[in-house]
Amino acid sequence: MRDRGVRMSHVASTVGAVTADAPTSTSIAARRAFVNGSFRPATVRIADGRISGIGRFDDQADVVVDDAHVLLPGLVDTHVHFNEPGRTEWEGFATGTAAAAAGGVTTVVEMPLNSIPVTTTPEALGAKRQAASGQLAVDLAYWGGAVPENLGSLGALLDAGVVGVKCFLAPSGIDEFGHLDGAQVEQALTELVSHDGLLIAHAELEAHLGEASGSVFADFVASRPPEAEVEAVKLVVEAARRTGARVHIVHVSAAETLDVVRQAKADGVRITIETCPHYLALDDATVPDGQGRFKCCPPIRDGKNQDVLWRGVLDGTIDAIVSDHSPATAELKNDPDLGTAWGGISGAQTGLAVVWSEARRRGVDLEQILPLFTTGPAGIVRLERGAIERDAPAHLAVFDPEAAHTLAESDLEYRSKVSPWVGAELTGAVVRTYLNGECVYARGEGVLSRSGREVFPDDEGALEGYVQLGLGTLPAPEVG
């Protein structure tokens, strides 16, 4: 399968300096390139933005990667909230994709909320596409939303080009994106299975959630117990079992969830799951009280829970590690009352460095975690991304696995520079990021180009959706 792309115009964003002509390479050589699941010497040949061949190490290549660095496929982050249009003061496509590029991410999939309008109709998707035009430092795909009001019309969203639809099983935090009950989940899956469409679920059940207030982090964690997640996952699993539909659970936080998922997979249920860097690297015992930058839903849990999540990473139960990048303004995030502070971790830029830092501490090799940042998430959304292989897009990242640094606010490309890792000692840094062979980010220089493309599933219905939306101001679709 090949994903389809609409090339976005090279319009410089007002956020950061962008050169008119970023350097494009036709060959990149590295002593350690991540190819077919392991590191080996290789030269990646590039033609027309795609990998045309992989050969022996050639010290005469256009770019020769420093021996201390590694050449990776561009990372894939299938869980980001850029909040544009409507809440661009929270992030936006310009800063969000710049942060992704700085983190070695070359493809992101943007969530249907918290933009205004939420992406629950083809028309709302059209508004989001218009907002993204000219701003993309990396490639962009879209999720749609499943809410009570659009059940029965999910096929139109898939036809318009979304990779799947997201639902909540508890209140989402914004009134315009309502949650589904059990019967509505089954209704959505019954509709989606006829399209082989994917439903992704924020899995917490409202009946198991308590009221959160005050600054004590332990009280906030107790208000969202593991049972809320586990019971929600069971509900989704059983609905998927009955309908035969594809389902995916976002931001798994609870150790107990993994046994439910292992059994479902063994039974043939079509389920995948993701977790996030904050669940793999932060421990609730070390989170200070009154710090909204650590608040997320479901919450950061304890060290024993984290150990079990790591076993799920290593044994294949967990399919992907993605950021759940969910920013807000500093005013909303820095509220010391954890009941009212906006929940969400900003992590699009720091995911690999954070997880690699923790993996090193645990004696886990880089090769063991890379698939969860690359082919794992790409496979969930059925896009050919995340591998250094012939005919793949020449999306690459150069990573220094030994670079020790203290994360500073000034390092962050986010609009609101609020992160739980500001001040943290991290190991590993992205040196350069390439999109279609073009260097779009360099450490110390920032974003060099905004040559990102929209990408869509290889589905003629999606292309027809462009015409139906009447998006005459956007470039015509081209295979990319």
For position 220, which CATH number holds? 3.20.20.140
45 domain residue, yes or no: no
- Region for 239 from its dihedrals, namely left if φ exceeds 0, alpha if ψ lies in -120 to 50, beta otherwise: alpha
61 domain residue, yes or no: no
Task: Decide: helix, strand or coil at residue 397.
Answer: strand
pTM of the prediction?
Answer: 0.92
* DSSP structure class, residue 297: S
Q: List, in order, residues 6 or more apart from 21 with CB less than 8 Å away.
A: none
* β-strands 4-7, 478-479 pairing: antiparallel
The residue type of 208 is: H
162 domain residue, yes or no: yes
The residue type of 236 is: V
Q: Which of 447, 436, 366 is nearest to 403 (CA)?
A: 366
60 domain residue, yes or no: no
Q: What is the DSSP string of 402-457?
A: EEEEE--GGG--SSS---TTTT-EEEEEEEEEEETTEEEEETTTEE-----EEEE-
Task: Decide: helix, strand or coil at residue 467.
Answer: helix
Q: Give dist(CA 3, CA 302) in Å, integer.
A: 40
278 domain residue, yes or no: yes
26 domain residue, yes or no: no
Q: Which domain holds residue 213?
A: 4-15+69-461
Domain count, the chain: 1
pLDDT in tens, the chain (480 residues): 333 333 332 222 323 334 446 778 899 999 999 999 999 999 999 999 999 999 999 999 999 999 999 999 999 999 999 999 999 999 999 999 999 999 999 999 999 999 999 999 999 999 999 999 999 999 999 999 999 999 999 999 999 999 999 999 999 999 999 999 999 999 999 999 999 999 999 999 999 999 999 999 999 999 999 999 999 999 999 999 999 999 999 999 999 999 999 999 999 999 999 999 999 999 999 999 999 999 999 999 999 999 999 999 999 999 999 999 999 999 999 999 999 999 999 999 999 999 999 999 999 999 999 999 999 999 999 999 999 999 999 999 999 999 999 999 999 999 999 999 999 999 999 999 999 999 999 999 999 999 999 999 864 233 333 222 333 333 332 223
120 domain residue, yes or no: yes
140 domain residue, yes or no: yes
